[in-house]
C-alpha cells in the first residue's frame, strides 16, 4: 500500500538529517570519489557503459559493428544497465548474434507504466515498405548481408498506387518513405551506389510477427483492390486514412 510522507514526518526527517550532518561537521557529502568521472559524480557505471546506455536511450539502437567499444561495455555491464533501464520503465532487447540492441517500453499487466519511448505515426507507404524490407531480410539473411536496390523495393509497392495519384506523385511518396527508412528509422544503410542499401538485421525485431499478422491481411486486401489506376481502386483519401499505423520511434 502506498503511503505519503506527512509534513511532520518530513520535518522530523530533515531534523534527523541535520543532526546527522552536525555529528560529522567535516563531511560535506561531496567528498571526492576516486571512481567518479567528475567531482560529485554519483554514478556507478564506467564511462563506456554510460555511453552505451545513453545510446540505447537516445536511439535508434546500438550496433556492435558500428560501435564495438560500446557493445563490449553493454555486454560487460548488461545486468546493471538492465536495472537502470528498468528504473526508467524501459526494457532492453539484445541480439548477441546480430550484435544490436535497443530499448522499448516495458509491457506488463501489473501496473500502468508511462510511455518512456515515444511512438511515431507512419504513413501507409512507410508501413508497407517496412513489411517489404522485413520480408526481404528474412528471405536473404541466411546468405549474409542483405543488400537491395531501391527500384527493387519500389516495384513491390507499386500495387498501392491509387487511382487518383499520378506516377510522379507516387514516386515522390516512395522516395520520402525510402528516406524515412534510411534517416529516421535507420533500418537501411547506403551500400555503395545511392540506389543500393543494406537492410539492418534490427528490422527483424522492430517489426515482429504479431505486427505482421495484424496488418498483413489488410495490406494484401488494399493491394488487390487498388491496382495501378484500375477502376474501383482506392482513392488517396482512403489510403491516407490508413496512414495511422504507429511504431515505437527509433529516433528518440
The more confidently predicted of residues 246 and 52 is 52
pLDDT for the residue numbered 234: 35
The answer as to whether 34 is a domain residue is no
Residue that wins the pLDDT comparison between 22 and 118: 118
Residue 80: inside a domain: yes
| Interval 209-238 mean pLDDT | 53
**Which helix (H) or strand (E) segment is 103 a member of?**
strand 100-105
Residue 225 and residue 135 in one domain? yes
206 pLDDT band, cuts 50/70/90, is: confident
Residues 66 and 180 in one domain: no
58 in a domain, yes or no?
Answer: yes
pLDDT at 8: 41
Query: 3-state SS of the chain: helix, strand, coil percent to 5?
Result: 50, 15, 35
Is 56 part of a structural domain of the chain? yes
The whole-number pLDDT of residue 68 equals: 97
Return the DSSP state at 104.
Answer: E
Reply yes or no on whether the pLDDT at 230 is more than 70.
no
Higher model confidence: residue 4 or residue 64?
A: 64
Residue 244 structural domain: 119-248
The predicted model scores a pTM of 0.64
Same domain, 74 and 152: no
Closest CA to 126 of 183, 60, 165: 183
Distance CA 94, CA 98 (A): 9
Are residue 187 and residue 69 in the same domain, yes or no? no
Mean pLDDT of 148-174: 90
Quick one: what percent of the chain has pLDDT higher than 90?
A: 42
Give domain status of residue 213, yes or no.
Answer: yes
- 124 and 95 within one domain: no
Whether residue 124 lies inside any domain: the answer is yes
Number of domains comprising the chain: 2
Asked if pLDDT for residue 1 goes beyond 50, the answer is no
Amino acid at each position: 500500500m502506498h503511503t505519503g510522507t506527512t509534513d511532520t514526518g518530513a520535518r522530523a526527517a530533515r531534523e534527523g538529517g541535520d543532526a546527522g550532518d552536525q555529528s560529522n561537521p567535516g563531511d560535506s557529502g561531496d567528498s571526492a570519489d576516486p571512481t567518479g568521472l567528475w567531482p560529485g559524480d554519483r554514478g556507478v557505471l564506467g564511462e563506456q557503459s554510460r555511453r552505451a546506455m545513453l545510446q540505447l536511450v537516445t536511439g535508434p539502437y546500438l550496433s556492435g559493428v558500428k560501435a564495438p567499444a560500446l557493445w563490449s561495455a553493454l555486454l560487460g555491464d548488461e545486468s546493471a544497465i538492465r536495472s537502470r533501464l528498468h528504473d526508467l520503465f524501459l526494457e532492453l532487447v539484445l541480439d548477441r548474434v546480430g550484435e544490436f540492441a535497443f530499448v522499448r517500453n516495458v509491457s506488463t499487466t501489473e501496473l500502468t507504466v508511462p510511455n518512456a519511448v515515444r511512438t511515431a505515426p507512419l504513413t501507409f507507404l512507410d508501413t508497407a515498405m517496412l513489411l517489404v524490407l522485413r520480408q526481404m531480410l528474412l528471405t536473404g539473411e541466411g546468405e549474409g548481408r542483405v543488400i537491395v536496390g531501391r527500384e527493387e523495393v519500389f516495384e513491390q509497392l507499386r500495387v498501392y498506387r491509387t487511382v487518383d495519384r499520378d506516377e510522379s506523385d507516387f514516386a515522390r511518396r516512395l522516395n520520402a518513405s525510402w528516406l524515412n527508412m534510411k534517416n529516421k528509422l535507420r533500418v537501411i544503410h547506403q551500400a555503395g551506389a545511392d540506389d543500393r542499401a543494406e537492410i539492418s538485421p534490427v528490422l527483424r525485431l522492430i517489426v515482429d510477427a504479431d505486427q505482421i499478422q495484424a496488418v498483413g491481411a489488410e495490406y494484401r486486401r488494399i493491394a488487390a483492390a487498388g491496382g495501378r489506376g484500375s477502376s474501383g481502386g482506392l482513392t488517396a483519401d482512403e489510403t491516407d486514412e490508413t496512414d495511422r499505423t504507429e511504431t515505437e520511434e527509433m529516433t528518440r
